[in-house]
Amino acid sequence: MAVEGIRTICVVGAGNMGHQIALNAALSGFKVQCTDVKPEILKKAEDFAASYLPDRVAKGKLTEEQAKAARDNISFTGELEVATRNADLVIEAALEVLALKRKIFKQLDELCPPHTILATNSSAIISSKIADATKRPDKVINMHYFNPALVMKLVEVVQGPHTSDETTQTVMQVCEALGKIPVHLKKEIDGFLVNRILGALMREAMFLNDMDVASYEDIDKAVVYALGHPMGPFRLMDLTGIDLTYTMSMERYRATGDPGNKPSPAVVEKYVQGEWGQKTGKGWYDYTKKG
């Protein structure tokens, strides 16, 4: 299937990543169905689109016509059957839990037309762990966006041993049509490209903090002002969600049995306390204080 065959995109999961992926696709001219099992999450996603588009017009980033076209392109529904009915491509953006993703992909395989490509936005779970939940493993692939999905340009396209070359090339072309820069991983590897590199930095940053060598604030400053990163690892953790850091670490630990993959004690403490970063108002940093 060439990119011309991709006209309608379904995004499963309307959380922080999902609703931005959906809006990116709508802005790029695709018809989009965004779905979630939680009505409150779906409402927040719809409210985001309703505020984001006029704001971009006010800032001169979009014309009134472009904003209207994008809003007309995107629909929100709590019914998976409705969302997938005419989908040419599905992008799953649910929680990073393997059992949940396998359940979703089994449902998608049953509901979607035979030609539909099924992509997971997972940053940690390779699609070969999901593909056999479907009867179309050649059409299952990783399509990993970065947060915030409306801003970050890179998408990692990971081709599993089950994924056809045709599926891979179609997804690469779709990424370009979405205004993204795709990178092709020719084989599956834990952490893909970016997170393998970032993971090494994160582990060392957490070690330095846990050992009280330096405060998390000073570690962030060192990474920003010496290495030139836009933000330090602790600020980045607040942005992506400390709950995500915890969940991914626990999934990796369960898969490997290696105690070194367990989350840092400091991460566990914040996870248990519900201090998950920007989404809860407090993580490593306090976002309830102005300035």
Q: Where are the domains of the chain?
A: 3-185, 194-280
As a whole number, mean pLDDT of residues 143-169 equals 97
Using an 8 Å Cβ cutoff, are 31 and 9 in contact? yes
As a whole number, mean pLDDT of residues 133-138 equals 98
When the pLDDT of each residue in the chain is averaged and rounded to a whole number, the result is 95
Q: Cα separations (Å) of 14 from 20, 48, 140, 209?
A: 8, 11, 20, 33
Instruction: Please determine, for residue 232, whether its predicted confidence score (pLDDT) is greater than 90.
Output: yes
Sheet containing strand 8-12, strands side by side: 74-77, 31-35, 8-12, 89-92, 117-120, 140-145, 154-158, 181-185
Instruction: Respond yes or no: is residue 19 known to be catalytic.
Output: no
pLDDT band at 234 (very low <50, low <70, confident <90, very high): very high
Task: End-to-end CA distance of the chain: give it in Å, rounded.
Answer: 50
pLDDT of the residue at 190: 85
Q: Hey, which CATH number is domain 3-185, 3.40.50.720, 3.40.50.300, 3.40.630.30, 3.30.70.270? A: 3.40.50.720
pLDDT of the residue at 251: 86
Peptide bond into 230 cis (omega under 30): no
Q: Which of 28, 86, 128, 195 is catalytic?
A: 195
Instruction: Respond yes or no: is residue 123 known to be catalytic.
Output: yes
As a whole number, mean pLDDT of residues 258-285 equals 95
Single-letter residue type at 259: P
Residue 100 tokens read as: 């949940």
pLDDT band at 215 (very low <50, low <70, confident <90, very high): very high
Instruction: Please determine, for residue 252, whether its predicted confidence score (pLDDT) is greater than 90.
Output: no
Sequence-ordered list of residues with C-beta below 8 angstroms from that of 258, at least 6 positions apart, any chain: none
Using an 8 Å Cβ cutoff, are 224 and 237 in contact? no
Q: Do 3-185 and 194-280 share a fold?
A: no
pLDDT of the residue at 291: 57
Q: Which of 24, 144, 209, 264 is catalytic?
A: 144
pLDDT band at 150 (very low <50, low <70, confident <90, very high): very high
Residue 200 tokens read as: 């090494």
As a whole number, mean pLDDT of residues 90-97 equals 95
194-280: CATH number: 1.10.1040.10
As a whole number, mean pLDDT of residues 165-193 equals 96
pLDDT band at 3 (very low <50, low <70, confident <90, very high): confident
Instruction: Please determine, for residue 134, whether its predicted confidence score (pLDDT) is greater than 70.
Output: yes
Q: What is the DSSP letter of 199?
A: H
Q: Which of 16, 73, 123, 264 is catalytic?
A: 123
Instruction: Respond yes or no: is residue 156 known to be catalytic.
Output: yes
Instruction: Respond yes or no: is residue 86 known to be catalytic.
Output: no
pLDDT of the residue at 189: 94
* Cross-strand bridge partners of residue 183: 156
CA angle 33, 133, 157 (to 5 degrees): 60
Q: 0.85 cut: is pTM over it?
A: no
pLDDT of the residue at 81: 97
Residue pLDDT, tens place only, 15-30: 999 999 999 999 999 9
Q: Which of 92, 96, 156, 251 is catalytic?
A: 156
Helices marked H in the chain: 16-27, 39-58, 64-73, 80-84, 98-111, 165-177, 194-210, 216-225, 233-240, 242-256, 265-273
